[in-house]
Amino acid sequence: MYLELAPAEAHEAISGEQVTLVDIRDPESFQAAHLVDAVHINDVNIHEFLETANRQQPVIVYCYHGISSAGAASFFSEQGFEKVSHIEGGFEAWQQSGLPTCSG
């Protein structure tokens, strides 16, 4: 089970508590811009992430438009993460809302 958060709700959650931000977009998109403190997860490092992540800490997943991140949120929930959300509308909606990003 996971929650769907509007960008403003996700921003509020990030500001209010310690969360793990997971970006599942391609590496080039992540390098160009991503949410501050986001972790880039892909097929290469997913197993390491699953071994080391704190499953009690809330996880917020995002992709490009919020479609793939819904499936990823379901996956993380199935892996035993207690509080999982994804950003409705994805990174595009986040940017359109004028919320902070970084690059590199």
Provide the CA 22 distance to its chain's centre, in angstroms: 3
Give the list of residues 6+ apart from residue 81 with CB closer than 8 angstroms, or none.
53, 55, 59
Residue positions counted in the chain: 104
Say which of 21, 61, 63, 93 is annotated catalytic. 63
Annotated catalytic, 63?
yes
CA pair distance 81, 92, nearest whole angstrom: 25
Residues 42 and 49: beta-carbon distance below 8 Å? no
Residues with catalytic annotation? Answer: 63
